[in-house]
A and B are shown apart, each in its own frame.
Chain A
């Protein structure tokens, strides 16, 4: 994962771009809180939580689509920028195939993190392209499965992602904590 620069983009009227020192943010992080929604609303598989309006999502180059009118809980939008870090974290213990990683993610999060399970595979492809993850065909559970494991660079990245998250969540807590 690379950090997302939070620079201002020049508008068509030509406002001058500015330089900002970046916090240690993973890419595509959206500091979104869930919208307050009524009963029956919400994305499939999402947990609905009531909260204030969402905060700004500051990224560059990647337009994270805002789901209109939905509950944007601790799920799709919020997880989009963290999925690679989460996959690296669940691979730290031992290698695994896609379904096993999905189960570990659900188990370790107590069922709170619910992503479309298919979205793991493009994310794993991206991690493999970055050299953070290796994969090979192996026999697991009596079948031939594609098993993923962390590379040395992936282990370092997992540790760095954990540090980034601590700093990020501390910063968000400092802002949102007063609203709770």
Chain B
């Protein structure tokens, strides 16, 4: 067995991806080493090709990023499908039914969390277009997708609990089926990221920065990119969410000023709690117990 064959065997064993992508890379590397060996000799060709672990890690990460972006598309489809099923359930509710306050709060909280998580995932996936990234970025994208799908399913459950009714089964089940298929894609991608890097350090990616980076790609290189502290983003989000809840309450036929103020207060409180609890998972802020060197920004 020549040095090139040993290199390819080691590369095949080190690569974490499986299937067509792996076969293609190995075929290309074999051809490359054959050409280089004819010119420089086998040992020199292997030396010039570079370390196995670096090539394997880089290639695995590239494949993982592609899968994560496709999983994001699937997650968006899943979240939309579940939202459709939830709407079907709400419209199928008994006319005189009124939902208990607790289930109504759970419904709106889960729906908004799902929407925000999915939006953050889409933003990150767009920001990753054409960019080099780390397994931590892949894992972050998977977590955002997973949160979006999980809270979408919770929204559907809360809708059924809040206003029971009857609707065609296939319409209600379509959403969860699509969401579960998307979840499989997300889990497989996260599993690949963990195989690439067993440590998977926490990654923080500011959504405002991602948004500006994506806009810059479309508008042009003169477009500035801002980095805004997460506390500022949270404050703005709380104000906007509370104002929206207050306005929605006033617009509602049965809404009164006290109920609108209560809705605004609940919305603000849930936004803050959601940020504090889910912020580390969604890559918005570092958890209190993490150290600097375990967090990548």
Contacts and interface: CB of A to CB of B under 8 A. Distances in A.
Interface of A: 1-3, 5, 7-10, 12, 14, 16-22, 24, 27-28, 44-45, 60-63, 97-99, 102, 116-119, 121-122, 125-127, 129-130, 132, 141, 143, 145-146, 164
Nearest to B223: A22
Given A8-B227, A99-B35, A27 B132 contact: yes
Interface string B42-81: 0000011111001100110111011001000000000000
A22 B36 contact: no
Given A3-B216, A119-B58, A21 B222 contact: yes
Interface size class of B (residues with CB under 8 A): 35 or more
A116 B31 contact: no
Given A3-B221, A122-B59, A61 B205 contact: yes
Please report whether the interface of chain A is mostly helix, strand, loop or mixed according to DSSP.
Answer: loop
Instruction: Among B28, B59, B132, B222, find the residue whose CB has the most chain A CB atoms closer than 10 A.
Output: B132
B131 A116 contact: no
19 contacts: A2-B129, A5-B212, A9-B227, A12-B292, A16-B229, A17-B228, A19-B226, A19-B227, A22-B221, A62-B132, A99-B36, A116-B50, A116-B54, A117-B32, A119-B50, A125-B59, A125-B62, A127-B130, A130-B129
B130 A132 contact: yes
A31 to B, nearest CB: 18
Contacts of A27: 131-132
B225 interface: yes
Given A1-B130, A129-B65, A146-B24, A99 B221 contact: no
Contacts of B61: 122
B87 interface: no
Contacts of B134: 62
Given A5-B225, A9-B227, A126-B62, A143 B31 contact: yes
B32 A102 contact: yes
